[in-house]
Structure 1
Amino acid sequence: MRYRMIEALTLLVSIGASWQPCPAQGDVSPPVASPAERLQAIKDSQARALQAYQAGLQASDPDRRRGAVDAYLAAVAANSDLALELAETSPADSAAIGALVFVIRTAKAGPSDHSERAVALLSRDHAKDQGVGEACQSVFFLFDRVGAERFIRAVLKENPGRVERGSACLALGRLLAYRAKMIRWLRENPDRIDEFAAHRGKEGFAEFLNESDVSAMEAEAAGLLEQAASDYGDVKEDGRTLSEIAGGELFELRYLSVGKPAPEIEGEDVDGERFKLSDYKGKVVLLTFSGNWCGPCRAAYPRERAVVEKFRNRPFVLLSVNTDEERTTLKKSIDSGEITWRCWWDGGVGGPITTRWSPQVFPTSYVIDHEGIIRRRNPREEEVETLVESLVGIIEHSHTGEQKQRDAEPAPKSKDESLKGRP
């Protein structure tokens, strides 16, 4: 414990030192770091902490791995505190919004309250500011936090900038759609509620699940996404228009729910050969959206190779929409044996297939049955093989029953036999 406290204090001191005034030399005024420079120092510190964390997770000693997690969480808390202080003491500086976005993207949904404090400062100081659209897009995944929704609604209503209102309109539609999706999923998987409620307050979270009108939520989300596409469609975000982005979100909301037929996918594989999702109807499909640029995606490759091997020569196939920008990146992974399944190469996260399906996170996965119906979205790692085995078993049982029925039927008589005994 003492070493962790020392580490956290060292982190705070080292970050703080990066913007402390230099000692006075004669009549020369000491340089004072700007808020932008201070924010960059915080980001650099967090990047180093992340590298140390990732390296620590590779250790064979479980105590070292636990230590890496604890050290990283200490860094998240320390850096988030510093960024919040920056935003609170320099609200008029352009770096303030960036500092709050940093907090939300770093601290995420918990276990601390840093993200909620960041959202509160965004609401208090920046709802009408130019450039606040990025913050709107950062908070949408805080789907159960009243403050996040209140902030985005304030930007949509009060901000004088069309670009900012467009970002808010899209973000609010996303937040409500994601909230509805998560509520449906948690209601179908009540064993996961405690996990999600752990850092949110169990009683309040259970009440939130029970009282939410999911249908009304989805209807409002669809209306906001339609508004983003029609009223702000030409506004660009991350190189794509809001019309394109909102169209993908609407597509997901309307067509990618569990129990609905999986929409067609058509595109080129690594060799430029075109193929379709429907080419594999009759088999269970594990469909993933992935890319070598994504650390968690690459971390999943060994498990996915194991699934492919386990169900080899059975009615199952793993297909992936690859989002690497260069086709050669995918080819290297296939040639090396890192990827052992067929992929559509989509040319980046803004590719046509990915834009249409609009995955919120990478990797995203769907389990599709032999009739083309979506049976599960983003199953847990331990659920994948069990679910695939169950669906594959249905196909094999059906085929076995059909074969037994054919075996039990009398063989058809030949023409000569059918004529025997006739005059």
Structure 2
Amino acid sequence: MRLLCAAALSLSVGLWVAYAQDKKPADGPKTDRAEKFAALKKKFEDENKELATQLSKAENPGDARAIQGEMKELVLLTAGKAFEIAKDDPKDEVGFDAAAFVVQIAGRIGANNEDVDKATQMIALHHAASAKVRDLLVPAMRLGEPGDKLIKAVSEKATDKDTKGVATFIRGYKIAQAIEEEEDEKQIALMVKDATAMLELAAKEAPNAKINPSAPKSPTVGDLATKEIENLKAVTSVVVGKAAPEVESMTLDGKKVKISDYKGKVVLFDIWATWCGPCKAMIPHERDLVKKMEGKPFELISVSADNKKETLEKFLEGEKMPWTHWWDNGPESPVLKKYRVRAFPTLYVIDHTGVIRHKWVGNPGNDKVDAAIEELVKAAIKAKG
């Protein structure tokens, strides 16, 4: 019996030793996941680099689009594999790195699928307070609603001042951009108020924080917030029923002009470009309108957004447009900035007192333009007595 017990004890000790030798260290699974992620990341970078090289050598737009499609497919396929690694332990370092990688590569090209959304949500849920999410904020801007939720979570939970400031700025900036799609004046006023509050808070919290910390010349939160706030002030001033904001420009012969020079006349302020099809389609009717309004208190002012004045001048050589033309630094024109032009054509009708009476983005139709101008011209003539 004593020998049997000794044998049993020896066997049990041997099994324990064998188990202990075979058992992986506590961080074994984490190490395996880290190695798996590193291999996946390298494979993606190598394949993406090769596709980028092919894209740079593409001989026509069709080939370029095909390669871009392959790049997007690679991103989404890699995102799925990275998310599988991340979800095994979403709270640990490997989980964060894998999910963050998904946000970075998908955000770079604005690619979305279920795996990208889940990875973005994972970071918002488990890592919003970490300073490491700062590098993900700009890519997240292109990831739709999950990206917006991540930015919001970081702005509310981040403990790092600069990270919180950048996230808050981006929230304000996105509201400001969304104003362009809004038509309801009351809603616009609320959006301006919300965006301004966030931009001011961001500038106060982290004025010197760079939007993209990895780029040495990246603008700061303070600089960008100040510019956006100025733009938002224009939103509330460039509205129907308010005085047209004063703005200076140049005629084609180099003469300085400003919108107030035309007070006493009804002005059709037409902001366009020679490359804009819908803009050019309006030219024949604009010619008829100018002829019909000859001798009346009316002025058609076309403001060109063409990059070069020579482009406009050459166009006018072949297209009869006998009315006033302004050009001042093309797309950087003070008119485009102050009047917040985001699409072409953008048209404003300003009455003889200098008040904006109509605004249209795109051609509203000849009848609508004519009716608006005829009514206001009659009022201008009546006011003259």
Give, in whole Å, the separation in 2 of the partners of 1:321 and 1:138: 31
**1:150 alignment partner in structure 2:** 149
**1:100 alignment partner in structure 2:** 106
Alignment of 1:9-408 (within 5 A): 33-35=43-45, 38=48, 41=51, 51-52=61-62, 80-90=72-82, 92=97, 96-104=102-110, 114=112, 118=116, 121-125=119-123, 128-135=132-139, 137-138=141-142, 145=145, 147-159=146-158, 164-179=163-178, 182-183=181-182, 185=183, 216-234=190-208, 241-281=223-263, 282-288=265-271, 298-313=276-291, 314=293, 315-320=298-303, 322=305, 324=307, 329-337=308-316, 342-346=325-329, 349=332, 354-359=336-341, 361-363=342-344, 365-370=346-351, 371-381=353-363, 383-398=364-379
The Cα shift of 1:365 comes to: 1.9
Bigger radius of gyration = 2
Q: Conserved in 2, the CA contact under 8 Å of 1:266 and 1:275? A: yes
Q: Conserved in 2, the CA contact under 8 Å of 1:232 and 1:243? A: no
Give, in whole Å, the separation in 2 of the partners of 1:380 and 1:387: 12
Q: Judging changes above 3 Å, is the alpha-carbon distance between structure 1 residues 345 and 159 closer, same or farther for their aligned structure 2 residues?
A: farther
The answer for unaligned runs of 5 or more in structure 1 is 1-31, 55-71, 108-113, 189-211, 407-423
SS state of the match for residue 311, structure 1? helix
**1:201 alignment partner in structure 2:** none
SS state of the match for residue 368, structure 1? strand
Give, in whole Å, the separation in 1 of the partners of 2:159 and 2:244: 40
The Cα shift of 1:242 comes to: 0.9
Once the two structures are superposed, what CA deviation does each residue of 1:241-271 show, in whole Å capped at 9, x if it has no partner? Answer: 3144322332234323333322111133455
Counterpart residue identity of residue 135, structure 1: P
Which deviates further from its counterpart, 166-175 or 229-238?
229-238
Once the two structures are superposed, what CA deviation does each residue of 1:322-343 show, in whole Å capped at 9, x if it has no partner? Answer: 373xxxx222322332885623
What fraction of aligned residue pairs are identical, expressed as a percent?
A: 16
Q: Conserved in 1, the CA contact under 8 Å of 2:345 and 2:362? A: no
The Cα shift of 1:394 comes to: 0.8
Q: Judging changes above 3 Å, is the alpha-carbon distance between structure 1 residues 173 and 228 closer, same or farther for their aligned structure 2 residues?
A: same
Q: Judging changes above 3 Å, is the alpha-carbon distance between structure 1 residues 332 and 155 closer, same or farther for their aligned structure 2 residues?
A: same
Once the two structures are superposed, what CA deviation does each residue of 1:68-107 show, in whole Å capped at 9, x if it has no partner? Answer: xxxx8x9988764543333444573786445323443xx7
Give, in whole Å, the separation in 2 of the partners of 1:150 and 1:220: 17
Q: Conserved in 2, the CA contact under 8 Å of 1:251 and 1:357? A: no
The Cα shift of 1:153 comes to: 1.0
Give, in whole Å, the separation in 1 of the partners of 2:349 and 2:113: 36
Once the two structures are superposed, what CA deviation does each residue of 1:37-75 show, in whole Å capped at 9, x if it has no partner? Answer: 527837976997993499xxxxxxxxxxxxxxxxx8x99
Q: Conserved in 1, the CA contact under 8 Å of 2:279 and 2:345? A: no
**1:207 alignment partner in structure 2:** none
Counterpart residue identity of residue 38, structure 1: N
What is the Cα-based RMSD across aligned positions, in Å? 4.6
Once the two structures are superposed, what CA deviation does each residue of 1:367-403 show, in whole Å capped at 9, x if it has no partner? Answer: 232243334545343x153332122111343467689
Counterpart residue identity of residue 311, structure 1: L
Q: Judging changes above 3 Å, is the alpha-carbon distance between structure 1 residues 271 and 234 closer, same or farther for their aligned structure 2 residues?
A: farther
SS state of the match for residue 132, structure 1? helix
Counterpart residue identity of residue 299, structure 1: G
Q: Conserved in 2, the CA contact under 8 Å of 1:88 and 1:121? A: no
- Alignment size in residue pairs: 305
Give, in whole Å, the separation in 2 of the partners of 1:50 and 1:154: 43
